[in-house]
Amino acid sequence: MIKIEAIVREEKLEAVKEALNKVEINGITVYQVYGCGKQKGYTELVRGSKVDITLLPKLKFEIVVSSEEWAEKTMKSISEAAYTGNPGDGKIFSYALSNVIRIRTGETGTAAIN
């Protein structure tokens, strides 16, 4: 089992959701987060003073899949849907999971995520 975390631009929410739906990924969790990367934010003029905005709003997707094949499909779909070609497009991380438990039924492992 593999957990995928993707940090993407806020405006890419619907595009990523549609891309995941096309490859039949249904179980997702989405968070509103703040962060910065190479672009280091921007400077804005507020009431005549320059203000550095160093943390930018982003979205974080968390998805658990059963195999490496599903992980590759999921990461490819997110990457294509979130791409703009500009700094700040985001990152995708994947982690191996040792176990999962579905609380309602007590199922474990891949049965708990299918």
| The residue to which tokens 């992980």 are assigned | 71
Cβ atoms 99, 109 nearer than 8 A = yes
Q: List the beta strands (DSSP E) in 1-113.
A: 2-9, 28-35, 42-46, 49-53, 56-65, 90-96
Q: What is the pLDDT of residues 39-86, one digit of tens each?
A: 777 777 778 888 877 788 999 999 999 999 999 999 999 999 999 999
Give the domain range for residue 79.
2-112
Residue 106 falls in which region: left (phi positive, over 0), alpha (psi -120 to 50) or beta = left
Domain count, the chain: 1
Q: Specify which residues 92 forms β-bridges with.
A: 6
State the DSSP code for 89: -
CATH assignment of the domain containing 81: 3.30.70.120
Confidence at 13, pLDDT banded by 50, 70, 90: very high
Q: What is the pLDDT of residues 17-49, one digit of tens each?
A: 999 999 999 899 999 999 888 777 777 777 888
Cβ within 8 Å of residue 85, ≥6 positions away = none
